[in-house]
Amino acid sequence: MNVLGCLLAVLAMSLTYLCSHNQRLRAHPLGRWAKIAAWVAAAGALAAWIAGETSLPGIFAALTALMFGAVALPYLTWLVRPAVARKPR
């Protein structure tokens, strides 16, 4: 369940990042459906972590996984596509 929780947390944060106007991977941000899918994936990550652990450690593990995804994805984007390589909008 912990692996599933990590995967769902990364999926949730990836969709959240791609919905942002500040994202640098796509020409235009994703639409409303992706925001809803991100919320569903985040809730699934929380449920998977709570099922794998007990309630309070599961909540904190899910929040930690979500925070890690929120911090790591912009840096990974920067490594893949540096600011110099970006085209101006």
What average pLDDT does the chain have? 88
| Number of DSSP helices (H) and strands (E) in the chain, helices first | 3, 0
pLDDT at residue 3 greater than cutoff 80: yes
> How many Å separate Cα 33 from the centre of its chain?
15
pLDDT at residue 89 greater than cutoff 60: no
Greater confidence, 48 or 24?
48
pLDDT at residue 14 greater than cutoff 70: yes
Residue 34 per-residue DSSP state: H
Q: What is the pTM of this model?
A: 0.83
Structure tokens of 54?
């007990």
